[in-house]
Structure 1
Amino acid sequence: MLRGAWREIRYYPSAVLGLIVIVLFVALSIYTVITIPYSEAVRLWRGGEEVWGDTPRLVPPVWYNLFREKKLPLTIKISSTDEAAVHKEEQISDDLWVHDVICTFDFPYDEFPQDLGMFLEAQFEERAPYVSLVLERPDGEEIRVEDLSVQGGRQVFLVSQSEDLHRRLGLPERRETIVGLFAEDPQAEDPVPLKGTYVLRVETTLFEPESTITSKMVVYGRVHGWAGTDHLRRDLSVALLWGAPVALSFGLLAALGTTVTTMIIAAVGVWYGGWVDSIIQRITEVNMVLPVLPILIMIGVFWNRSLVIMLVAIVLLSIFGASIKTNRAIFLQVKSLPYIEAARSYGASDFRIIFLYMIPRVIPTIIPSLVLGIPSFVFLEASLAVLGLGDPVLPTWGKVINDARVNGALLQGYFYWILQPSFALMVTGIAFAMLGFSLDRIFNPRLREL
Structure 2
Amino acid sequence: MNTLRNSFKKLLQYPSAIAGLLVVFVLVAVAVYTVIAIPYSEAVRMWRGGEDVWYQNPRFAPPAWINYFSSKKYSESFAVNTSDGLIEKKVIPGDNGLSTVEMTYAFDFSYDFFPQEMLFYFTSTFDEKQPFVSIELLTPDDRKIRIANFAIGNEFTYRFSQDEKLRAKLRAEDVIPALFTAPDGDTPLKGKYQLLITGTTFEPASTMDAEFVLHGQVFGLAGTDHERRDLTLPLLWGVPVALAFGLIASMGTSILTMIIAAIGAWYAGWVDELIQRITEVNLVLPLLAILIMIGTFYSRSIWVILGATILLNIFTGAIKGYRAIFLQVKESMYIEAARAYGASSSRIIFLYLIPRMIPLLIPSLVQSIPAFVFLEASLAVIGLGDPVLPTWGKIIQDAQSNGALYKGYYYWVLEPAVLLMITGLGFAVLGFALDRVFNPKLRET
Q: Does 1:326 align with 2:321?
A: yes
Within 5 Å, which residues of 2 pair with 1:213-362?
Answer: 213-362=208-357
Question: 2:198 maps to which residue?
Answer: 203
CA distance in 2 between counterparts of 1:145 and 1:227 reads: 33
Question: 1:422 maps to which residue?
Answer: 417
Within 5 Å, which residues of 2 pair with 1:66-85?
Answer: 66-85=68-87
SS at match of 1:82: coil
Residues 359, 439 of structure 2: 8 Å contact kept: no
CA distance in 2 between counterparts of 1:430 and 1:166 reads: 53
Instruction: Report the number of matched residues.
Output: 442
Q: Which amino acid aligns with 2:260?
A: I
Shift of 1:226: 1.0
Shift of 1:135: 1.3
Shift of 1:205: 1.9
CA distance in 2 between counterparts of 1:396 and 1:299 reads: 19
SS at match of 1:447: coil
CA distance in 2 between counterparts of 1:340 and 1:206 reads: 91
CA distance in 2 between counterparts of 1:119 and 1:2 reads: 61
Q: Does 1:371 align with 2:400?
A: no
Q: Which amino acid aligns with 1:99?
A: V
Q: Does 1:162 align with 2:160?
A: no
Residues 80, 103 of structure 1: 8 Å contact kept: no
CA distance in 2 between counterparts of 1:423 and 1:223 reads: 20
Shift of 1:43: 2.0
CA distance in 1 between counterparts of 2:151 and 2:289 reads: 56
Q: Of 42, 45, 66, which residue of structure 2 is paired with 1:43? A: 45
CA distance in 2 between counterparts of 1:198 and 1:412 reads: 32
Q: 1:168 to 1:329 in 2, by over 3 A?
A: same
CA distance in 2 between counterparts of 1:330 and 1:19 reads: 29
Q: Does 1:129 align with 2:124?
A: no
Q: Which amino acid aligns with 1:39?
A: S
Shift of 1:91: 4.1
Residues 50, 227 of structure 2: 8 Å contact kept: no
Question: 2:25 maps to which residue?
Answer: 23
CA distance in 1 between counterparts of 2:315 and 2:39 reads: 36
Shift of 1:2: 4.4
CA distance in 1 between counterparts of 2:142 and 2:52 reads: 33
Q: Does 1:392 align with 2:393?
A: no
Provide TM-score, normalisation by structure 2.
Answer: 0.96
Residues 136, 195 of structure 2: 8 Å contact kept: yes
Deviation per CA, 1:159-185, whole angstroms, max 9, x where unpaired?
A: 2222221121011x3xx2101111123
Q: Which amino acid aligns with 1:360?
A: P
Shift of 1:84: 4.1
Find runs of 4+ consecutive structure 1 residues off by over 4 angstroms: none
SS at match of 2:79: strand
Q: 1:445 to 1:352 in 2, by over 3 A?
A: closer
403-412 vs 32-41, greater mean Cα deviation: 32-41
Deviation per CA, 1:10-47, whole angstroms, max 9, x where unpaired?
A: 22111111111111111111111111111221122112
Gaps of 5+ in 1: none
SS at match of 2:292: helix
SS at match of 1:376: helix
Gaps of 5+ in 2: none
419-428 vs 198-207, greater mean Cα deviation: 198-207
Deviation per CA, 1:384-440, whole angstroms, max 9, x where unpaired?
A: 000101111111000001111111111111111100100000011111111111222
Residues 124, 208 of structure 1: 8 Å contact kept: yes
CA distance in 2 between counterparts of 1:366 and 1:346 reads: 29
CA distance in 2 between counterparts of 1:321 and 1:370 reads: 14
Q: Which amino acid aligns with 1:213?
A: M
Q: Which amino acid aligns with 1:237?
A: T
Question: 1:183 maps to which residue?
Answer: 181
CA distance in 2 between counterparts of 1:368 and 1:376 reads: 14
Shift of 1:89: 2.8
CA distance in 2 between counterparts of 1:68 and 1:11 reads: 41
Question: 1:442 maps to which residue?
Answer: 437
Shift of 1:360: 0.4
386-395 vs 91-100, greater mean Cα deviation: 91-100
SS at match of 1:283: helix
77-86 vs 429-438, greater mean Cα deviation: 77-86
15-24 vs 198-207, greater mean Cα deviation: 198-207
CA distance in 2 between counterparts of 1:163 and 1:143 reads: 15
Residues 51, 228 of structure 2: 8 Å contact kept: no
CA distance in 2 between counterparts of 1:419 and 1:142 reads: 43
283-292 vs 419-428, greater mean Cα deviation: 283-292
CA distance in 1 between counterparts of 2:254 and 2:441 reads: 23
Provide TM-score, normalisation by structure 1.
Answer: 0.95
Shift of 1:49: 3.6
Deviation per CA, 1:327-351, whole angstroms, max 9, x where unpaired?
A: 1111111111110110011011111
433-442 vs 314-323, greater mean Cα deviation: 433-442
